[in-house]
Structure formats: C-alpha cells, structure tokens
Amino acid sequence: MIKHFINLEWKQYFRSSYWQKNLALNILMVFLALYFIVVFLILGFALLPILKKVYPDQDPFIVANGFVFFWIMVDLLMRFFLQKLPVMSVKPLLTLPIKRSTVVHYVLGKSALSFFNFLPLFAIVPFGIMLIVNDYATPSVLIWMLAMVIVVLIINFLNFIIEAFSSETELSFLPIISLVAVLYGLDAFGFVSLSTLLGDAFLGIASNPILIVAPLAILAICYSFNFKILKDKLFLDSSLKSKVTEVKVADLSWTKRFGDIAPFMQLDLKLIWRNKRTKSSVFIMVIGLLYGLFFYPQPIYRDMVWLFPFIGIFVTGIFLINFGQFIPAWDSSYYKMLMSQNIKYEQYLRSKFILMVLSVGIMFVLSIPYVYFGWKILVAHFAAAIYNIGVNSHVMLFGGSFNRKKIDLNQRAAFNYQGTGAVQWIIGLPLMVLPMVIFAILNWLFGFETGIAVLIIMGVAGIVFHKKLMKIITQRYLNSKYKMIDAFSQDN
C-alpha cells in the first residue's frame, strides 16, 4: 500500500506543470538546504568549544541543556510558518478498499521524514561526538542524543496539532505566537524557570536512561492525537461540509472613484476578505508592521544603518510581497472565464497594482511611529516605500506572468491548512535584499543621503515610467495567455 502511495505522489509531483516551470526555484531550495546543513554542522562541532570559552566555570553540557528550551520555542515558530503537513489528495482513495488508518499513518510517517527533522541532527550528532571526544560518558551521551531526536519528532507532531487548531480560527498565527510568548514570558520573568527545568530533565535522562520513557510517552501521545484529528477529517462530509456562512456584504462603492477598474478592485477586495488564504495575508501585515521591533529597540542594530532599507521594504511591502507573488494565481480557478470575458488585461493588472500601492502607503503611514528610534529610520522607510511602489510592484506583476501554479481558493482538500511554505518567503528575498545591497554600498561609499536618494530615484523612475512598464507587462501576460490557462486548469 505504502508503495502505491509513494508512486502516486512521485507522479503528482513530477507531472505537475509547477515542477517543470520552476526548476530554478527547486535548485535554489536545494542550495538553501545545503547551506543550512553546513551551518548546523559547524554549529554542532563548534558549540562545545564556544560554550567552554563563554562559560568557563560551568559544565558546557549543562549550559547546552539550558538552551534546549529556547531551541524548542524557535523551532516551533519556524515550523509553523515554513513546514506544512504533507498534502495528499485523499478523496479518490476514500472509496477504494484502503483502511483509513493506513492513509493517516502514511501521511504522519511521511511528515517525520521532513527536512526540518533532519536538520537538527546535523547539529546534534556532531555535538554528541564532541562530547564523547571530550571524555563524557559515552552511554549517557548516546541516550541524550536519542532524547534529542525524540524531542525533534515531538516538535514535528506538536506543530501539526497547533496548525490543525489554529486553522479553524481567523487569526491563524495568533495561537502559536501567544503560546510561545507566554512560555517565554514565564521563563524570562522568572515565574517558572522552564529553561532550567527542561535542562535538568535532559540531564536526568542522560544520567538515568530509564527516564527516556517520558519523552517517548509524550511522542506517542502527540502522534496518536494527530492520528485522531486526521482520522476524523478523513470523511467526505467533514472536509466537504459546507459551512454555509451568511454573506456579509460590505459597501464597496468608494472604489468607483478608481473609474474603469472599479469592478476588479471590488472583486479583489472580496477575494481577499472572503478566502482564508488571502485573509491571512492581511493579518500577516500586522506581523510585518511589528517586524521593526525585533531590530530597532536594540542598540546594535540601530547603528547598522545599512539594514534600515531592508526592514523598510519588509515593513511597507509585506502585503505586496505576500499578495503580489500570487498574481494572477489568485484568480486561477476562474481564469478561463476572465479570459473569455470582455475585459482589458491592462485594467485587470492595474487594479492589482493600485491595491499594492495602497497597501504600501497604509503600511508606511502606520510605520511612522518608528521615528521614535531615530529620524534616519523614518527616512529609510520612506525611501523603501517609494522603491516598493516604483520597482517592486512592477517586478511582482511581471513575475506573475511566469506564474503557473493554481491556487485552489475553495480549498476543500483535507490536510491543506495554509498551502504555502518556505518557497514564498524565498521569492520575496531578492526584492528586499537588492535595495539593501544597493543602499549599503552607496551608504558606505558616499553616505546615507546618497543611498536614500538613489533608492528614491529608482522608485520615482518606476512611477514615471508606469504606463510604459504596464504595457510591457501586459504584453507578457498576453503572450503567455494560453500557457497560463492550461496550467491553471490543472489540478496540481
């Protein structure tokens, strides 16, 4: 049975037009994976000497265990945004003579093979080796490593439980963030020293192997809980149950002032507000807005002026990056209809453009309070906003013409929680890194004002040539019309 499943997925993956069109992206992913593997390897080997140096009077093994808590928190957060439960189209399988539990075991088992689970091994194993080399008792180190592997798997399954619950709520990422924040807060403000507790627990396991039963039991509980959740979902009516929501009609007549693109803007706004996927990109704007708070309050970063445009692009452009990269795939499920209708491509694209520009404007205004951390930040954010409007928005639209991946908004496929993973963040990177590099070089050579001026000039140039650029972009879309229609009518 498992053999059949693997065979099915292999075909699904390699026969999809997405794979064929996005070879470059796949290669990039491989390189990124290799990069992280190397980083973790170095970390694994270097951790012990580093700890010895930083905490000379303490046992590095004990110190390392004290950090396990923070690693778990960060890992949970990262996974929530990057790792998705492997999707499998189960509907065709339901009527076949396959046990439901087999399907669920398979999906869960497959998730255990995720890259996210192997990555920590590249740090854990070298660290363990270093411990043994440094005369720690071999059996207890081995037990400790085993415990770590179990922890990785626990995080893996815990993440899916969190995702399953948060996908039911509107603000999908709130539960995870509040959970991590509360745990971290408890620890940081000294109510319950979770980091020490957890550290002691692992030390206990290392010295008393019988205790390994405890993490194993937690793993078993997490797994069976996942199993239960998924098995309940494996009925047609639960994934198909039409949650018939009363339609809330908002007054969108204000869009009329945009003239001939008004119908498209209304459509886009409804698209964003009425679908789970798109709605989450609105809420991600909140995260984007707060992103600066990771950096600016800390004096180290406040002196790194070259970083400001990067943060500025992210803060003002988070919606642009998040929403823009799936143009026109948002409309993929009815793309055929649009193409046979009496519409002008240019209007259709301009509506998306205006939407992105509006979001950049709003985000800039909302980010003005960052001026508290220095006027340079405000100036850099302003330049970034102009750059976003003039350059990145057009790049997004142009890039969209290469889009061949259908997005199923109606999304009834079981197991499909959020649909996108690491890929979407990687696409956004060049958009943020390029202006940062340009600025950093100019800032270094000629000073802050020149760097800002160049970013603004680039943005203004984009705005001045907007009509011309749109013409080129529209032509691109026209040229790839048939290919897009074909790709969007495929299911995977």
Which residues would be at the binding site for other proteins (CB under 8 A)?
Answer: 242, 244-247, 249, 262-263, 266-267, 270-271, 274-275, 333-337, 339-343, 409-410, 482, 485-486, 489
Contact criterion met (CB below 8 Å) for 76 and 152: no
Contact criterion met (CB below 8 Å) for 66 and 196: yes
> C-alpha angle 162/165/168, rounded to 5°?
140
For residue 62, give every residue at least 6 positions away whose Cβ sits within 8 Å of its Cβ, in sequence order, or none.
199, 203
| Rg, C-alpha atoms of the chain | 25
- Closest contact distance (angstroms) between CB of 88 and other proteins is 22
For residues 117 and 411, which CB has a smaller minimum distance to other proteins in the complex? Answer: 411
- Closest contact distance (angstroms) between CB of 336 and other proteins is 5
Which two three-digit tokens encode residue 279?
């709605």
For residues 115 and 334, which CB has a smaller minimum distance to other proteins in the complex? Answer: 334
For residues 228 and 344, which CB has a smaller minimum distance to other proteins in the complex? Answer: 344
- How many CB atoms are located within 10 Å of the residue 51 CB? 19
Which two three-digit tokens encode residue 186?
């408890």
Residue with tokens 């950093």: 440
Q: Which is nearest to 491 in space by CA: 359, 342, 332?
A: 332
- Closest contact distance (angstroms) between CB of 339 and other proteins is 6
DSSP for 389-400, written as a single string: IIIIHHHHHHHH
Amino acid residing at 439: F
For residues 95 and 342, which CB has a smaller minimum distance to other proteins in the complex? Answer: 342
Contact criterion met (CB below 8 Å) for 286 and 363: no
For residues 156 and 255, which CB has a smaller minimum distance to other proteins in the complex? Answer: 255
Contact criterion met (CB below 8 Å) for 87 and 9: no
For residues 407 and 442, which CB has a smaller minimum distance to other proteins in the complex? Answer: 407
Whether a cis peptide bond, with omega within 30° of 0, leads into 369 is no
Residue 453, Cβ density class (10 Å: 0-12 exposed, 13-18 middle, ≥19 buried): middle
- Closest contact distance (angstroms) between CB of 166 and other proteins is 22
- How many CB atoms are located within 10 Å of the residue 37 CB? 16
Residue 397, Cβ density class (10 Å: 0-12 exposed, 13-18 middle, ≥19 buried): buried
- Closest contact distance (angstroms) between CB of 331 and other proteins is 8
- Closest contact distance (angstroms) between CB of 227 and other proteins is 30
For residues 263 and 374, which CB has a smaller minimum distance to other proteins in the complex? Answer: 263
- Closest contact distance (angstroms) between CB of 92 and other proteins is 18
3 state DSSP class of 256: helix
- Closest contact distance (angstroms) between CB of 7 and other proteins is 24
For residues 106 and 345, which CB has a smaller minimum distance to other proteins in the complex? Answer: 345
For residues 133 and 247, which CB has a smaller minimum distance to other proteins in the complex? Answer: 247
- Closest contact distance (angstroms) between CB of 275 and other proteins is 6
Query: Quick one: DSSP state of residue 480?
Result: T
